[in-house]
A and B are shown apart, each in its own frame.
Chain A
């Protein structure tokens, strides 16, 4: 179960702010001025790094593959990081963390979109016929596309306005992130030729993240 929505968190924060604790104010200051911008730069760094490598021609013998894989890797990593936020918030008892979720989710989408763009442009050169055949013939591409298609409405409804407008349905919609993550990991499994060590690591991480939620649900109901 996801914890409170963004607006609820904000309400709580305003309430505690009104309580007048000066410490919280500096906490809020650091969160907004230091922590969040720093995280933003960190999340952008891999894209800049790949772009620089592409420009410098230092991505090895097959730069197109390096870019596609690099963007895919970071898309998946950040997607899982997004799922880490709410358990981490509970663990650290740090409600502000929830306010990172939208940025993380949008960054995941940013990388996946670049991943897709690199595939459509650099790998396939807009050969739509070939792309279509790929989608129907290669199972790992099929699930990748499915994951991307499902992720798109989440990115589009990530604004505060959308959150307000959709109300309860927003939460239900955004639970799609669970099947999306499973599809993304499956995409990786089906892509590898032989060495399953990387997708295995992601699978274990995802299992922990989903398992924690399942466990909490069961405990709460029981």
Chain B
């Protein structure tokens, strides 16, 4: 196991892509010299060993500062700045994930045990929030399919249910019954097994910060951000479609599928276009694409479905 050291903390200030790339180059050299410990993380491999992925986009990355300061994580408050301010109170190590339901390997897994045999890879994905803004984020993570396969779900497992930690002692806004905690999300089994779907453990080459859903979160890049559930403590294989939290709060505003779709408007946000975070004051919004631009990869999952009804 690698241990976090001081030089890593300084490296944490790194923000933009050039620096990130430079750092990767540096680590590569360092790794070559047998200094792999520089990458200093429990879960993330030395940067040089991080696999690049053909699924990554080459679009300009959103600044690290923006990704880690403009967040929706209502367990810590409803303002975008609350998670950064208050999420430090959440303890993410040790972290246990309870795997339940229709599978052959249920049980309580240490985060490290859940991920151990798998290779963390980099996935640079577009991230589109239902509120009409978007980012490009270099995640680190593992394909969810790899984790699921190890749990050996039975034929009765048709959906995967996920749950976020809900501890009022660590999450200051839980006491306001704004949403029905714990936060719940779900995926159809074929969506969960899709190669684009990952469980993320880091971004920009570092462990996830708490405001981004440390230590383990889902990332489903063709769906609105609220599907990408944070700080997961429970994964359950179930037979029927789970009731996800936002849908429960407002059935006609949020669906189960929540696929990014410019032609299905939300009552408060037109979904035709998106504000690209970091694009500056005087820039036009970008046209939103069906399935957030991942149409070629995922459209077949929904063939024959009415996307307006199953929004």
Residues of A near any B CB (own CB < 8 A): 54, 60-65, 122-125, 127, 130, 133-134, 137-140, 190-191, 193-195
Chain B neighbourhood of A138, CB < 8 A: 267-270
Residue in A63, A190, A193 with the greatest tally of chain B CB atoms within 10 Å: A193
- Nearest residue (CB) in B for A141 is B268
A-B contact list, 21 entries, CB within 8 Å: A60-B80, A61-B63, A61-B69, A61-B70, A62-B277, A63-B281, A65-B133, A122-B281, A122-B282, A123-B275, A127-B284, A130-B270, A130-B272, A133-B272, A138-B268, A193-B78, A194-B74, A194-B78, A194-B249, A195-B78, A195-B178
Chain A neighbourhood of B281, CB < 8 A: 54, 63-64, 122
- B66 at interface (Cβ–Cβ under 8 A)? yes
Query: Bound complex: CA of A190 vs CA of B30, how far in Å?
Result: 55
Interface residues of B in 59-110 (CB under 8 A from A): 63, 65-66, 69-70, 74, 78, 80-81
Chain B neighbourhood of A193, CB < 8 A: 78, 131, 268
Query: Bound complex: CA of A222 vs CA of B290, how far in Å?
Result: 63
Which of A54, A61, A190 lies in contact with B268, CB distance below 8 A? A190
Chain A neighbourhood of B178, CB < 8 A: 194-195
A122-B281, A193-B131 are known contacts. Are A139 and B273 too (CB-CB below 8 A)?
Answer: no
Interface residue count on the B side (C-beta < 8 Å): 28
B-side interface mostly: loop
For the complex of A and B, list the 10 residue pairs with the smallest distance between their C-beta atoms, beginning with the closest. Answer: A61-B70, A195-B78, A61-B66, A125-B284, A61-B277, A194-B178, A63-B281, A61-B69, A62-B277, A195-B178
Query: Bound complex: CA of A140 vs CA of B267, how far in Å?
Result: 9
Query: Bound complex: CA of A63 vs CA of B269, how far in Å?
Result: 18
4 more contacts with CB within 8 A, not counting A61-B278, A133-B272, A138-B269, are A61-B63, A124-B285, A138-B268, A195-B78
Query: Bound complex: CA of A60 vs CA of B74, how far in Å?
Result: 19
A191 contacts B179, C-beta separation under 8 Å: no
B270 contacts A133, C-beta separation under 8 Å: yes
Query: Bound complex: CA of A191 vs CA of B81, how far in Å?
Result: 19
Interface residues of B in 271-307 (CB under 8 A from A): 272-273, 275, 277-278, 281-282, 284-285
- B182 at interface (Cβ–Cβ under 8 A)? no
- B265 at interface (Cβ–Cβ under 8 A)? yes
A60 contacts B284, C-beta separation under 8 Å: no
A190-B268, A191-B268 are known contacts. Are A62 and B70 too (CB-CB below 8 A)?
Answer: yes
Shortest distance between the CB of A137 and any CB in chain B (Å): 6
Chain B neighbourhood of A191, CB < 8 A: 268
Which of B63, B133, B268, B270 lies in contact with A62, CB distance below 8 A? B133
Query: Bound complex: CA of A133 vs CA of B272, how far in Å?
Result: 11
Shortest distance between the CB of B276 and any CB in chain A (Å): 10
Chain A neighbourhood of B273, CB < 8 A: 130
Query: Bound complex: CA of A140 vs CA of B265, how far in Å?
Result: 14
A62 contacts B275, C-beta separation under 8 Å: yes
Chain A neighbourhood of B249, CB < 8 A: 194
Shortest distance between the CB of A144 and any CB in chain B (Å): 12
A64-B275, A122-B281, A122-B282 are known contacts. Are A134 and B270 too (CB-CB below 8 A)?
Answer: yes
Query: Bound complex: CA of A54 vs CA of B282, how far in Å?
Result: 11
B69 contacts A60, C-beta separation under 8 Å: yes
Shortest distance between the CB of B253 and any CB in chain A (Å): 9
Query: Bound complex: CA of A138 vs CA of B132, how far in Å?
Result: 14
